A = this chain, B = another copy of it.
């Protein structure tokens, strides 16, 4: 007899959201020789071990020369326990000015163990009572759904439509939820080159979304892992946070795609004011910091030093630092959409043509389930992601996601040939 039964453990453990990631990883591990148009990991050819040494040294130099630390102070900062909200917040604030035109008080920044911890901190803070719910533009990144499950926060889907978010549906969902006695706390949205849809909000939609957040008294959780990667010839648009004049936006940042995932450093900008019973007022960032102190104590100082060093070596601009990667992503994205056009001229299959990011969604006239993925991996040697993993319900989904981020143009061609064979065999 087993020591424990999963039925006696937290409900999230049998939830689809927490098992999706596991299943997809398992398929990938089981078919290591398949071409992966599934993995959203960043391009890795430019990583170099000696850079880590350089980043650490650069950060040490910054502590010495810019902050005036003595050697004991430098060692203490990198080796010891440290500030819960992190130690690279001034560099993140500079990065936000340089790359996003966002001006924030560094004290409103909480450095986190990747963007995932940032989501958990925010959702944990906002989930105060069983009536609280989160809205999320659908299809949604599975990490936000999973984070919500961990804090027992239901997620209500908002239609993404063709423009990245259907604002009429957003209002309808809010009104329906309130009529049912629920309290919508925030709406999660990825306005730039979203995962998985690839869609982006145009400027007018951004402004209308902000106005709506104000009129409906909602917070917006803006997640922006892909914003630096526009397609060729596409102008980047201002983030919601850059347009936010009323502190409606909690901004979730990631260095996984712009620096390196192995540091596991992300952050949240939470400049909202919070009133305490004693009449004092603080920042939401400080409330998140209290939660963080009991979740991970603080983000690894060594990992922060790596990211801090990379920022410092590039005048805090990751646009400048990722010139090579940006070119590769734009070319690969083009190669995927061109490759699909060449292989499917007839119209039985359709796909998105994103203005940037890593992902193309392909819609086919048959069900795309996990069994089909396994078959694709086993018989055709190509991996992709069934889109149903990004929807909360059980509705059958006829679409799959392709990623362009960690493959070569040659692999894209072979991968698309194999995918085309699979699709043609199922038409």
Residue ranges of A at the interface with B (Cβ–Cβ < 8 Å): 1-14, 17-19, 21-22, 25, 41-42, 44, 47-49, 52-53, 56, 60, 72, 74-76, 78-82, 84, 113-114, 116-117, 120, 124-128, 143, 146-147, 149-152, 247, 256, 260-265, 272-277, 281, 284, 287, 289-291, 293-303, 306
Contact = CB atoms under 8 A, between A and B. Distances in A.
Contact of A296 (B10, B72, B117): B117
A52 B78 contact: yes
A294 B147 contact: yes
Given A4-B272, A124-B10, A264-B300, A117 B295 contact: yes
A150 B52 contact: no
A302 B306 contact: yes
Contacts of A290: 12-13, 18-19, 21-22
A17 B12 CA distance: 25
B294 A18 contact: yes
Given A294-B147, A296-B116, A81 B2 contact: no
Contacts of A261: 79-81
User: Among A6, A53, A120, which residue has the most Cβ atoms of chain B within 10 A?
Assistant: A6
A321 to B, nearest CB: 14
Given A7-B277, A274-B2, A294-B18, A44 B80 contact: yes
A114 B117 CA distance: 14
23 contacts: A3-B272, A3-B274, A5-B275, A6-B277, A9-B126, A9-B128, A9-B287, A10-B126, A17-B294, A22-B289, A41-B81, A44-B75, A47-B80, A78-B262, A79-B261, A79-B262, A113-B296, A150-B295, A264-B300, A265-B300, A300-B300, A300-B303, A302-B303
The 7 residue pairs across chains A and B that have the minimum distance between CB atoms: A146-B294, A2-B275, A262-B301, A264-B300, A3-B272, A2-B273, A47-B79
A150 B260 CA distance: 29
Could you say which of A13, A17, A151 has the most chain B C-beta atoms within 10 Å of its C-beta? A13
A60 B53 CA distance: 13
A287 B7 CA distance: 12
Q: Which of A4, A13, A124 lies at the interface centre, i.e. has the most chain B CB atoms within 10 A of its CB?
A: A4
Contacts of A9: 125-126, 128, 274, 287
B294 A256 contact: no
Nearest to A14: B277
Nearest to A152: B152
A265 B290 CA distance: 20
B274 A4 contact: yes
Nearest to A304: B262
A41 B147 contact: no
B147 A6 contact: no
B113 A300 contact: yes
A275 B4 contact: yes
A18 B291 contact: yes
B12 A291 contact: yes
Contacts of A75: 44, 47-49
